[in-house]
Structure 1
């Protein structure tokens, strides 16, 4: 059966296309989501409730300290008093006026072995590889995916948010093109998804108890699952297979709780899910097909799935008859799409 999408709002502001990226949002346990947009040399922080109410001015702005560096995934503290920025050769905590609180230096993400630097901290090397960082929901920790100065080894580190002191680290078997963090709604676990291009993906769930770092990495045998979203009500998370062959719902230890193949599509021998999916609310998942390789919106499909079994309930029909493509479910029963022709973001409900 079809479900009809109802347009509840249209929003126009610079950089809106980034809102369909799962790592543009920084969800907080027990709080509303935040959108973090990088533009014009700054990190702009929006409270999603304010943004959807029509407020176009960001709740906070943080200047980026590295002119020319356009990669990395950044984060902001729960009280918005400081941001933590993922640079090419360091992770840096800064105040809104640009004052540096602390710097955690690491190796250069440019993979050329032995290349030199001028000593200028603003120098940007040609490499496009990058890491990411995330402030914990209680503001006490910073989780960061970085590379060591020696041997170009990638590591996942836990830092003290007060001074950047390293508390723990986990060596990774990755050669990343980029990564992103997702905080679990339990306020304790942190997820990391490391993309390695055609070589696959690695997924980790970590917990720091003040003494010991515990990490689940059971999904990594096949190097083929992308961490997309976490369930708003129970300790489960959603992944899509690297090439879109299936969606899976997992327990924190990686156990597969449910699985869904993509629905049949005309002229497709092996239909595939896109990376555009997530929890619409506690009971439903929204996912798309055909977006990545579509010649137009008429070839795309948006689907409603059961949030616990991943059984396909039906297809979403839009008022104009054309599917807008990528979706970003917000977990409250609504979702966002981006209109590339008008540059506007739209919010929908069923």
Structure 2
């Protein structure tokens, strides 16, 4: 079955590819969705509602603390006045005037044998490993995935920091060896998710909460397959979505990890398709997913709409403009994003009215 999409908005946004294939998208419950785009030595923050309304200037611009460091997943406070950067050897909060508000030092994500750090704050060591951070939806805390110094064992940890001054409030040692990570806040305003990619060693997935006194965490490896990527949650839905690392299936989980539904891509020919990493809630009742990387037939539809409760495929998406060769990013409000790299155009779509 084919489901027709309707073009709602379209704007030119250089660098917007990171919104559909990266970690530049930040969502906070019902608040406007944000784009965090790196442009040279600056982090530009856009309110997507304002962008599609015609505002081309970023809502805020923050200088990168370490211009040579192009990894890490960063975050911005709910009021947009503070950016928190995940660096190679520190987590740093920067004000909208470029001033450093605080810094939390940790071990190096890319240490080299026999290579002592010179003390140069701008020095970047070799290696692709990185952590991530996330400001809580109430703006009070910063969650950060960091690594201890080598002299203390170099173990990775998940820490909760005071967003006002960077003080460590809680720490959870992790059994991970990350290539990279990212956070996803739960719309209940209480729980935070952490997904850690470890290359060929698989993926770890955690949900945790901090009540001001105790940090409690659940290792989803106990109830889910080890190689599952956290993809999305929704304010109007009780579950969260994961995709198997190789794209074999999507799963809907309760917060404790129990699988509520399971969905596999449809076979169009003799070659088994697989889901791309990006999938999520168009709204509380609909999930969108893509098979962009596994579709060898250029005429084969790449985007699919699924029932959000059963993960049964409702149909493939048909675009009035023709084939859309892009990853997707659902916004949770009934729409989703695609990006045309050739024209640097960000488009917002919805399901056409029947």
TM bracket, shorter-chain basis:
over 0.9
- Per the TM alignment, residue 111 of structure 1 is displaced from its structure 2 partner at its CA by 4.4
- Per the TM alignment, residue 176 of structure 1 is displaced from its structure 2 partner at its CA by 1.1
Distance of 2:158 and 2:113 partners within structure 1: 21
- After superposition, the C-alpha distances for 1:199-222 in whole angstroms (9 at most, x for unaligned) are 211111110001111111123664
Q: 2:210 aligns with which of 204, 208, 216?
A: 208
Instruction: Classify the secondary structure of the residue corresponding to 2:51.
Output: helix
Distance of 1:281 and 1:30 partners within structure 2: 12
> 1:343 aligned to 2:318?
no
50-59 or 292-301: which moved more?
A: 292-301
- Per the TM alignment, residue 52 of structure 1 is displaced from its structure 2 partner at its CA by 1.7
Q: 1:168 aligns with which of 167, 170, 173?
A: 170
Name the counterpart of 1:329: 330
Instruction: Classify the secondary structure of the residue corresponding to 2:62.
Output: strand
TM-score by length of 1: 0.95
- Per the TM alignment, residue 223 of structure 1 is displaced from its structure 2 partner at its CA by 2.0
- Per the TM alignment, residue 196 of structure 1 is displaced from its structure 2 partner at its CA by 1.3
Alignment of 1:58-137 (within 5 A): 58-137=58-137
Distance 1:180 1:296, change over 3 A: farther
Distance 1:49 1:62, change over 3 A: same
Checking the alignment, whether the CA contact within 8 Å between 1:111 and 1:152 is kept in structure 2 is no
Distance of 1:177 and 1:294 partners within structure 2: 27
Instruction: Classify the secondary structure of the residue corresponding to 2:18.
Output: helix
Distance of 1:127 and 1:66 partners within structure 2: 16
Instruction: Classify the secondary structure of the residue corresponding to 1:298.
Output: coil
Instruction: Classify the secondary structure of the residue corresponding to 1:287.
Output: strand
Name the counterpart of 1:301: 302
Distance 1:238 1:22, change over 3 A: farther
Name the counterpart of 1:155: 157
- Per the TM alignment, residue 294 of structure 1 is displaced from its structure 2 partner at its CA by 4.7
Checking the alignment, whether the CA contact within 8 Å between 1:273 and 1:288 is kept in structure 2 is yes
Q: 1:197 aligns with which of 192, 196, 199?
A: 199
RMSD over aligned Cα, in angstroms? 1.6
Instruction: Classify the secondary structure of the residue corresponding to 1:36.
Output: strand
Q: 2:229 aligns with which of 203, 226, 229?
A: 226
Distance of 2:22 and 2:237 partners within structure 1: 19
Distance 1:48 1:320, change over 3 A: closer
> 1:251 aligned to 2:254?
yes
Distance of 1:139 and 1:149 partners within structure 2: 28
Alignment of 1:284-323 (within 5 A): 284-289=286-291, 291-294=292-295, 297-323=298-324
- Per the TM alignment, residue 327 of structure 1 is displaced from its structure 2 partner at its CA by 0.6
- Per the TM alignment, residue 60 of structure 1 is displaced from its structure 2 partner at its CA by 0.7
- Per the TM alignment, residue 23 of structure 1 is displaced from its structure 2 partner at its CA by 2.7
- After superposition, the C-alpha distances for 1:137-196 in whole angstroms (9 at most, x for unaligned) are 111000000110032211110001111111111111111111111111111111111111
Distance 1:295 1:55, change over 3 A: farther
- Per the TM alignment, residue 322 of structure 1 is displaced from its structure 2 partner at its CA by 1.6
Checking the alignment, whether the CA contact within 8 Å between 1:260 and 1:310 is kept in structure 2 is yes
205-214 or 104-113: which moved more?
A: 104-113
- Per the TM alignment, residue 295 of structure 1 is displaced from its structure 2 partner at its CA by 5.5
Segments of structure 2 that go 5 or more residues without pairing to the other structure are none
Checking the alignment, whether the CA contact within 8 Å between 1:216 and 1:252 is kept in structure 2 is no
Checking the alignment, whether the CA contact within 8 Å between 1:298 and 1:323 is kept in structure 2 is no
305-314 or 30-39: which moved more?
A: 30-39
| Residues matched between the structures, number | 348
TM-score by length of 2: 0.94
Query: Following superposition, which runs of at least 4 residues in structure 1 exceed 6 angstroms of deviation?
Result: none
